[in-house]
Amino acid sequence: MRFYRQSYSKKLPKNRYAEYLPFKGSNDKIIDEGIAIYFQKPHSYTGEDVLEFQCHGGSVVLDLLLNEILKSGLARQAQAGEFTERAFLNGKIDLTQAEAIADLINATSEKAAISAINSLQGAFSNKIKELNEKLIKLRTYVEATIDFPDESIDFIDDGQVLIGLNELTKELEAIRKTANQGVLLQEGLRIVIAGQPNAGKSSLLNLLSGKESAIVTDIAGTTRDVLKEQINIDGMPLHIIDTAGLRNHTNDIVEKIGIDRAWKEIETANRILFVFDSTQKDYEEQINLFNLIKDKTNNKIAFSIIYNKLDLVTDFVPPKEFTDIASIKISAKDANSLDVIKEHLKQCAGYDNSTEGVFSARRRHIVSLQKAEDHIQTAIELIQNQSMFELSAEELRSTQQCLNEILGEYTADDLLGNIFNTFCVGK
């Protein structure tokens, strides 16, 4: 900022015009030359006065310029996400749009980027705002029955309010489903491959990643450390984690550490692919291992059983203990199995191929939408069963609160802190 003032006799460039000029340091020496643009409030990203410099690339020039600016005392380095936070606080964007900016920057697939752009353009917020308006209308009728208990309110009497509330529930549900797709596109899934040594876990990782990411040998205990690969299936990001084969009887210190690490990864998985060595005659050990994983994860994580090495066995009969668990039969050595696994993972995640109308969303949105649905449902029951309008009105107030939370109205400071901390510096 300092150079700019010196070279222009302390005058700012014309509002919203790109001016080419030298950037001078405090000793009057030219550090670089480039473009300065002045955005007068409120027509800037943050809604405040902003002066932007565009200089040549390269970290040294950038550092020199930045140091001069900081030395001038006229500016300080922004916190992570501070520009976007200011834009939000100044009412330029709502919270879902602010989050969409971070999602756009972090998008790992084209579909994820498209969904973030849609949110940034208001696809998600507008839906919530529409719902909010409908809700306010319905609330008015319910509140009126409390304020004027002796009057007959037509909309209540002819059941229109209940019809409206039921419609609202359906709309909320539809938005939650689309939002779920948005979360999947942004976050993806953490998939941990687990099983006995030699079951073919690393071969599965290699098949999924399309390269020799892991060493594969017929020696049990080949993988000792955790191996991670990121892939995407039709735009859905998957974080695939290969782990050391799980067994008790090993004296190898390195392998033991690997097994400890494997357990840590298993505990934080969204889904565990339990690789089953179908060539083993006796299933008992693998069934016991599966049950151990299930117990250790408190039965909270979803499983897929991957029956592997099917190319080596004829007339394979899966253990009856696994009948109710999602499963596929593959050969990790056969490239044709790749489509089978991908289809299975998409199906398990509930991933919809089409991105028609999809918008980026966060887990906190899903939680708020679910809470809003629950409150409306209770409100409906209270009216339907006992005409308890006061309690029902309270539930509808809470519904609105949940919707407002999504847009960032009345949002707790610590939540805002969490959201903007995830941004990179300079946005």
Answer for which of 22, 122, 221, 319 binds ligand GTP (CB under 6 A) is 221
Q: Please say which residue, 222 or 377, places its beta carbon nearer to ligand GTP.
A: 222
Q: Are 301 and 270 contacting, i.e. CB atoms less than 8 angstroms apart?
A: yes
Q: Please say which residue, 195 or 237, places its beta carbon nearer to ligand GTP.
A: 195
In the complex, minimum distance from the CB of residue 328 to ligand GTP, in angstroms, rounded to a whole number: 12
Distance CA 361, CA 304 (A): 26
169: helix, strand or coil? helix
- Ranked by CB distance to ligand GTP, the top (closest) residue is 245
Residue 196 binds to Mg ion (criterion: CB under 5 A): no
In the complex, minimum distance from the CB of residue 304 to Mg ion, in angstroms, rounded to a whole number: 18
Tokens of 405: 């939370």
E strands present in 55-185: none
Strands 327-329 and 236-242: unpaired
Q: Are 245 and 196 contacting, i.e. CB atoms less than 8 angstroms apart?
A: yes
Tokens of 370: 């679910």
Answer for which of 181, 198, 368, 392 binds ligand GTP (CB under 6 A) is 198
Total residues in contact with ligand GTP, by rule CB under 6 A: 23
In the complex, minimum distance from the CB of residue 126 to ligand GTP, in angstroms, rounded to a whole number: 48
Answer for which of 223, 286, 304, 368 binds Mg ion (CB under 5 A) is 223
Judged by CB under 6 A, which stretch of 11-19, 140-148, 304-312, 321-329 contacts ligand GTP? Answer: 304-312
How many CB atoms within 10 Å of residue 215? 12
For residue 118, the surrounding DSSP H or E stretch is: helix 110-120
Distance CA 295, CA 245 (A): 18
Q: Please say which residue, 33 or 311, places its beta carbon nearer to ligand GTP.
A: 311
How many CB atoms within 10 Å of residue 166? 14
Q: Are 410 and 210 contacting, i.e. CB atoms less than 8 angstroms apart?
A: no
Answer for which of 311, 352, 374, 381 binds ligand GTP (CB under 6 A) is 311
Residue 415 binds to ligand GTP (criterion: CB under 6 A): no
Tokens of 20: 């080419």
Residue 47 binds to ligand GTP (criterion: CB under 6 A): no
**Partners of residue 239 on adjacent β-strands:** 190, 230
Q: Are 208 and 158 contacting, i.e. CB atoms less than 8 angstroms apart?
A: no
Closest CA to 387 of 159, 138, 164: 159
CA distances from 315 to 279, 284, 368 (A): 11, 18, 49
Answer for which of 84, 202, 304, 308 binds Mg ion (CB under 5 A) is 202
Residue 304 binds to Mg ion (criterion: CB under 5 A): no
Binder of residue 67, out of ligand GTP, Mg ion, none (CB less than 5 to 8 A by kind): none
Answer for which of 308, 355, 368, 392 binds ligand GTP (CB under 6 A) is 308
Q: Please say which residue, 329 or 397, places its beta carbon nearer to ligand GTP.
A: 329
Residue 258 binds to ligand GTP (criterion: CB under 6 A): no
Tokens of 240: 């695939």
Distance CA 206, CA 227 (A): 11
In the complex, minimum distance from the CB of residue 417 to Mg ion, in angstroms, rounded to a whole number: 41
Residue 220 binds to ligand GTP (criterion: CB under 6 A): yes
Judged by CB under 6 A, which stretch of 2-10, 91-99, 194-202, 404-412 contacts ligand GTP? Answer: 194-202
Q: Please say which residue, 96 or 202, places its beta carbon nearer to ligand GTP.
A: 202
Distance CA 228, CA 241 (A): 5
Residue with tokens 């059983």: 305
Residue 235 binds to ligand GTP (criterion: CB under 6 A): no
Answer for which of 312, 335, 415, 425 binds ligand GTP (CB under 6 A) is 312
Residue 222 binds to ligand GTP (criterion: CB under 6 A): yes
Q: Are 308 and 204 contacting, i.e. CB atoms less than 8 angstroms apart?
A: yes
Residue 202 binds to ligand GTP (criterion: CB under 6 A): yes
Answer for which of 186, 245, 269, 379 binds ligand GTP (CB under 6 A) is 245
For ligand GTP, the binding residues (CB under 6 A) are: 197-203, 216-218, 220-223, 244-245, 308-309, 311-312, 331-333
